[in-house]
Amino acid sequence: MTYHLLVQFDVPPAKREEFVKAALFDANDSLAKEPGTLRFEVLRDEDNRNRFYLDEVYTDREAFEAHCQNETIKQFYEMIDSFAYGPNFLFKGYRVEG
């Protein structure tokens, strides 16, 4: 069963582009270097331009845990630590199959 999560971040208006750049770095690097990362999308809220979501899918929870130990995610948090509010995990769970 695949493991899914949805993470929310809020950022100041002046830092939106900086956040997007950092989030896309994390997403693209994770997809390229982590075989257990199946999907990693950066989404902007349609009603709040300062709110972003990371929609991530992994082969299993262990792949997500490996992602959390990767150097890329550490660099991502270093890039956004001074201005982003989050992560706020809105959802963590497994895809229902059957």
Relative to beta strand 85-94, strand 51-58 is unpaired
Q: What is the pLDDT of residue 68?
A: 95
CA 31, 14, 53, 48 torsion-angle sign: negative
The mean pLDDT values, 10 residues at a time, for the chain of 98 residues are 97 98 97 97 98 98 96 96 97 94
- Domains, the chain, ranges and CATH? 3-94 (3.30.70.100)
Q: What is the pLDDT of residue 30?
A: 96
Q: What is the pLDDT of residue 97?
A: 87
Q: What is the pLDDT of residue 98?
A: 85
